[in-house]
């Protein structure tokens, strides 16, 4: 299984750093878990249309972002391609990225999920809040269980 975990956010904006922080934690864990298989970790400030190429050849994709509106500690849901004519380079959704993959390759994107981690403070120059740290711990545990084989069934 070839898994891509793609997180985005701004490490300089408090809890917006939750996605990149999750990637940092997984970077430390992956070498200790060869049983997880082929795991690629990617982070950026935002999703871009060219990231559709990063999905190629993957058996599963997990997108990770911070959220002010999801239930604490995190939300986890399967996502499908949605063509979004309104996206900009500052607000592309992962569903739109899946649609871009379909458009440029002519094939179906890999099964994908979105993990949104609850954040509470997004101020410039602030570190992760204590609440976000706790939510991050729960989210990392969830991702580790997925990599250990607990992915939801593909319908």
Residue 70, in any domain of the structure: yes
Cis omega before residue 73 (within 30°)? Answer: yes
Residue 16, in any domain of the structure: yes
Q: Return the pLDDT at 88.
A: 52
Instruction: Report phi then psi at 92, rounded to 5.
Output: -75, 135
- Max Cα-Cα span within the chain: 44
Could you tell me the CATH number of the domain that includes residue 29?
Answer: 3.40.50.1450
Residue 123, in any domain of the structure: yes
CB within 8 Å of 114: residues ≥ 6 apart:
62, 63, 64, 65, 75, 76, 77, 79, 94
Residue 155, in any domain of the structure: no
Work out the average pLDDT over 21-37: 95
Residue 22, in any domain of the structure: yes
Asked whether the predicted pLDDT for residue 82 surpasses 60, the reply is yes
pLDDT band at 86 (very low <50, low <70, confident <90, very high): low
- Domain of residue 136 covers 2-150
The lowest-confidence range among 53-57, 59-63, 83-87 is: 83-87
Does the pTM surpass 0.85? The reply is yes
Asked whether the predicted pLDDT for residue 89 surpasses 80, the reply is no
pLDDT band at 83 (very low <50, low <70, confident <90, very high): confident
Total structural domains in the chain? Answer: 1
Work out the average pLDDT over 23-52: 95
Closest of 71, 61, 74, 88 to residue 18, by C-alpha: 74
């Amino acid at each position: 299984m070839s898994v891509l975990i793609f997180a985005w956010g701004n490490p300089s904006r408090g809890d917006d750093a939750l996605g990149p922080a999750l990637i940092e934690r997984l970077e430390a864990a992956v070498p200790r878990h060869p049983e997880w298989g082929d795991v690629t970790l990617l982070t950026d400030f935002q999703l871009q249309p060219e990231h559709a190429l990063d999905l190629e050849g993957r058996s599963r994709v997990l997108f990770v972002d911070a959220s002010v509106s999801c239930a604490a500690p995190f939300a986890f849901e399967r996502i499908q391609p949605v063509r979004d004519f309104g996206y900009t380079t500052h607000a592309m959704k992962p569903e739109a990225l899946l649609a871009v993959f379909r458009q440029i390759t002519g094939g179906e994107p890999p099964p994908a999920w979105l993990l949104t981690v609850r954040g509470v403070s997004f101020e410039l120059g602030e570190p992760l809040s204590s609440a976000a740290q706790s939510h991050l711990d729960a989210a990392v545990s969830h991702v580790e269980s997925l990599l250990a084989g607990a992915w939801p069934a593909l319908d």
